[in-house]
Amino acid sequence: MSRSLLPALIRGSALLVALLSLGVTLWTGVEERGAALAFGALVLVGELARWSGAGVREAAPLGAAGGLSYALLGENAGRVSHHGAFQVVAVVLGACLLGSVPHLARGEGQALDHLARRILTVAFAAVCFQPLYGEGAFRDWIGPAYALLLLALLVLTALCGAVLAAASAHCRTRWPFGPLLREELRGLLGIGSAVCATGAVMALAVAVAGLWALPVFSVPLLLTQLSLRRYAAVRSTYRQTIASLARATEVAGYTPPGHARRVAALSRAVGRDLGLTEPELTVLEHAALMHDIGQLSLVDPVPAGATAGLPAEQQRRIALLGGAVVRQTGVDARVAVVVERQADSCREQPLPARIVRAVNAYEEKARDAGPGGSLQALEELRLAAEYAPDVVESLARVLSRDGLMSPAVG
């Protein structure tokens, strides 16, 4: 399936489900309006507090838990609920639309993808639970069996959401689907497990205590959501600090402007193509930003900052000095290790060091080569023994996929 067709299929399916749910709900009327209003308000608060920064696995955990708990709600204070799957989707849709208005006003285009995934995942959970519960299939399930049933349905829903999120990211970024899906599945062990557990607890608590249980069990997840925003802000400040340190070589005239930034972006793309996890990609990016910082120890700058053509001993000296500087800045020690081992033998280097070394050499060779420089630089890397063949081929795939070279190679 083409990358342009898959996003249209996801959004089209969500639109079809939304229109059908709204039509059926308007035709039959809203059952148990108090519960619908309470769960709708809960989802609305979660969506209004949603943060859309990079690297966020679940930007609105409270909204997700509220929608899933409403989809799996069988009783309200001991009384059997009669709302169906269509009403669940309609209520969640209305709350998500209201909550998305501020995000759309700020020009956050991914809000549509977020809304489509929310509709499809809630619809999946509601369709799996509400019709069978309405026919009495689960009414004899009591105690731990019923709780495990809800958790199993939530896990299946979370897996469905992970596949949709990975597919959307694959179409948007053109990164390989497999590593993206693995990263989404790893994310389920963190905030995803909290969403599933809270959704199940809310549905069970409302069945016994009524709607007053919602604010009690939503406070911890709301605080978690606010903590995620603060953590993301700290990470952003941390990365800006590293980027400022990396620019020291440019300000001092040791490297061309933008060199570290280009190497970092391309290294991250290659690392993702090779299946590195998100924490490993963060270390790789920071190391790529600071890979030339050891040049500040040189009395005479290397012409154009091109260290790939220096003798091995001088490369090793620059790498070791760079690692020492990184350790003094308080940055993650793993970043210093990658910087220090750039000049080691290819077979002895860890994968992030091999990536930074190959990408740095490619950027230096292709920078001033003019037309055809990308192809020539790649061929030189392929013929050189000091660069890992798997990294060079991954680099070729990334360049070809992102349209940064012509014709495509690999």
Better-scored residue on pLDDT, 89 or 307: 89
333, 352 contact by CB (below 8 A)? no
Among the listed ranges 193-207, 249-263, 292-306, 360-374, which one has the minimum average pLDDT value? 292-306
Residue type, 154: L
Other C-beta atoms closer than 10 Å to the C-beta of 362 total 26
Other C-beta atoms closer than 10 Å to the C-beta of 210 total 17
pLDDT score recorded for residue 303: 63
Better-scored residue on pLDDT, 153 or 332: 153
At the top level of CATH, which class does the domain 247-401 belong to?
A: mainly alpha
Residue 294 phi, psi dihedral angles, 5° rounding: -65, -15
Among the listed ranges 29-43, 163-177, 283-297, which one has the minimum average pLDDT value? 163-177
DSSP H or E stretch at residue 56 = none
Q: What is the pLDDT of residues 82-129, one digit of tens each?
A: 888 999 999 999 998 888 777 777 766 566 777 888 899 999 999 999
Would you say the C-alpha torsion 356, 369, 257, 315 has a positive or negative sign? positive
The residues, ordered by sequence, that sit 6+ positions from 198 with a Cβ below 8 Å of its Cβ are 61, 65, 69, 217, 218, 220, 221
CA separation for the pair 213, 330 (Å, rounded): 45
For the full predicted model, state whether its pTM sits above 0.85.
no
Query: Reduced to 3 states, what is the DSSP secondary structure of residue 79?
Result: strand
Closest by CA to 164, choosing from 16, 52, 10, is 10
397: tokens are 């795939």
Residue type, 272: R
Q: What is the pLDDT of residues 120-170, one digit of tens each?
A: 999 999 999 988 887 877 777 777 888 888 888 888 888 888 888 888 777
